[in-house]
């Protein structure tokens, strides 16, 4: 049972890392394109500050990808600290999902909140079982 939980958590964390890596790299490499992702048009006169903030979001997402990989490595080595890292990452994604829900952005709320629920529940059950 514990092995199935750990494998499921690793799989969800791998998907989360892939998603965060893809969006983070995109926001960092193409800030104007990132503005369009947030529903803003860069041609409408967005200042350099807006582009800077999109790049910072990209760096944050790359950090989330890094923490997901850290949790995966720890879990595969049998280190219990991987569960703790996953719980923190899950809580952050739950907060992001809540923010997007209150902002009435249903797609992002489902993506980030879904990852948050899956990671938090799987990590919490695994922590309880071990």
Per-residue pLDDT tens digits for 44-73: 667 778 888 889 999 999 999 999 999 999
Confidence (pLDDT) at 71: 96
pLDDT of res. 43:
57
Tens digits of residue pLDDT in 104-122: 889 889 999 999 999 999 9
Work out the average pLDDT over 2-31.
92
| Integer CA distances (angstroms), 55 to 9, 51, 61, 94, in order | 29, 6, 10, 22
What pLDDT, on the 0 to 100 scale, is given for residue 125?
92
Whether the Cβ atoms of residue 75 and residue 86 lie closer than 8 Å to each other: yes
pLDDT at 41 over 70: no
Distance CA 65, CA 46 (A): 28
């Amino acid at each position: 049972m514990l092995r199935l939980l750990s494998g499921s958590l690793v799989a969800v964390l791998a998907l989360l890392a892939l998603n965060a890596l893809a969006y983070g790299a995109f926001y960092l490499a193409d800030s104007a394109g990132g503005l369009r992702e947030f529903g803003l048009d860069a041609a409408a006169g967005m200042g350099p500050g807006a582009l800077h903030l999109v790049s910072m979001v990209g760096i944050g997402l790359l950090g989330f990808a890094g923490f997901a990989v850290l949790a995966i490595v720890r879990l595969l080595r049998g280190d219990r600290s991987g569960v703790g890292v996953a719980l923190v990452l899950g809580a952050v994604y739950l907060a992001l999902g809540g923010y997007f829900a209150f902002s009435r952005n249903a797609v992002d709320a489902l993506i980030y909140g879904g990852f948050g629920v899956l990671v938090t529940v799987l990590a919490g059950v695994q922590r309880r079982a071990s």
